[in-house]
């Protein structure tokens, strides 16, 4: 049996995970959040007291890490690190930075590649990340590059943080986002970029429902659903 795949890449705050999750539910596909996997490695590095940017510190940790996923009935992807549910812990701000740093280490990317591809060999998937259309699943039936202007992405993230009770300044959120965008798109290995054949969807002027409609129409058209 061959499975179908939808790859969604783009910078943080473009709405990838919210939209991919909704799309997966609508189509009955498995949603795979690959950023959560890099975050789990970032968390492991922090916990072991290793600098997340240091390959000599991070790479020896990998073979001993047991990283697994499980899906809640509502489709939420839970991440486990050595058996501990770290789904919440990996969302901390310091872990976002650590994830971005470990993800620039080529050996980390190579190590996680097979794990990501296995999901797509065994399920219909919607996978989101930075290099899904370019490296992980270049043969995906539909590839989407989802983006929005940095100010719009920072506004959304700022609102989200305030709603969660985390007091932050908009300017700080924007700067953080620009730093992470820069790092993710200028690294030597698998930098963030629009894959060949990927459809560009810019959500700057679209709300969530409008963005969803754009994606579901693309999916139906490309996958013949």
Distance CA 218, CA 204 (A): 18
What is the torsion angle, in degrees rounded to the nearest 10, for the CA atoms of residue 71, residue 159, residue 172 and residue 7? 40
Q: How far is the CB of 90 from ligand DC (least distance, A)?
A: 8
Under the binding rule (CB under 6 A), the answer on residue 156 touching ligand DC is no
Among 21-29, 34-42, 63-71, 74-82, which window interacts with ligand DC (CB under 6 A)? 34-42
How many residues of this chain bind ligand DC (CB under 6 A)?
A: 14
Query: Taking Cα atoms as reference points, which of 215, 214, 195, 216 lies closest to residue 9?
Result: 195
- Give me the sheet containing 125-129, strands edge to edge: 30-33, 125-129, 5-9, 142-147, 199-202
Nearer to ligand DC, 132 or 142 (CB): 132
Q: How far apart are CA 137 and CA 59, in angstroms?
A: 24
Beta carbon of residue 97, minimum distance to ligand DC (angstroms, whole number): 8
180 binds ligand DC (CB under 6 A): yes
- How far apart are the C-alpha atoms of 222 and 171, rounded to whole Å? 39
29 touches 76 (CB < 8 A):
no
Closest distance to ligand DC from the beta carbon of 215 (Å): 17
Q: Encode 189-222 in three state secondary structure.
A: CCCCCCCCCCEEEECCCCCHHHHHHHHHHHHHHH
The tokens describing 91, both together, are: 């969302």
Among 43, 52, 131, 137, binds ligand DC (CB under 6 A): 131
How far apart (Å, rounded) are the C-alpha atoms in residues 87 and 187? 26
Question: Least distance (Å) from ligand DC to the CB of residue 169?
Answer: 20
Q: Cβ closer to ligand DC: 38 or 145?
A: 38
Structure tokens at 22: 């909704």
Task: Work out whether 157 is an interface residue with ligand DC (CB under 6 A).
Answer: no
181 binds ligand DC (CB under 6 A): no
Binding mask 3-22 for ligand DC (x = CB under 6 A): ---------x----------
Indicate which single residue of 35, 58, 177, 201 sits in contact with ligand DC (rule: CB under 6 A).
Answer: 35
The answer to whether 40 contacts ligand DC (rule: CB under 6 A) is no
Options 31, 45, 156, 184; binder of ligand DC; rule CB under 6 A: 184
Query: From CA 98, how far away is CA 94, in angstroms rounded?
Result: 6
Q: Which of residues 59-118 bind ligand DC (CB under 6 A)?
A: 99-100, 103
Binding residues for ligand DC (CB under 6 A): 12, 34-35, 38-39, 99-100, 103, 129-132, 180, 184
């Amino acid at each position: 049996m061959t499975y179908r795949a939808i790859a969604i890449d783009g910078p943080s705050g473009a709405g990838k995970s919210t939209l991919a999750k909704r799309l997966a539910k609508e189509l009955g596909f498995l949603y795979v959040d690959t950023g959560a996997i890099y975050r789990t490695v970032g968390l492991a590095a922090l916990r072991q007291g290793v600098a997340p940017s240091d390959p000599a510190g991070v790479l020896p940790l990998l073979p001993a890490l047991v990283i697994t996923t499980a899906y809640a009935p509502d489709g939420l992807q839970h991440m486990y690190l050595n058996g501990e549910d770290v789904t919440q812990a990996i969302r901390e701000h310091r872990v976002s930075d650590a994830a971005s740093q470990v993800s620039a280490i080529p050996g980390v990317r190579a190590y996680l590649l097979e794990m990501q591809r296995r999901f797509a060999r065994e399920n219909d998937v919607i996978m989101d990340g930075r290099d899904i259309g370019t490296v992980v699943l270049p043969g995906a039936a539909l590839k989407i590059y989802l983006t929005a202007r940095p100010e719009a992405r920072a506004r959304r993230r700022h609102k989200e943080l305030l709603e969660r009770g985390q007091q932050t300044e908009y300017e700080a959120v924007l700067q953080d986002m620009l730093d992470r965008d820069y790092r993710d798109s200028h690294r030597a290995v698998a930098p963030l970029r629009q894959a060949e054949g990927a459809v560009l969807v810019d959500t700057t002027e679209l709300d969530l429902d409008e963005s969803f409609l754009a994606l579901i129409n693309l999916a139906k058209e490309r996958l013949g659903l």
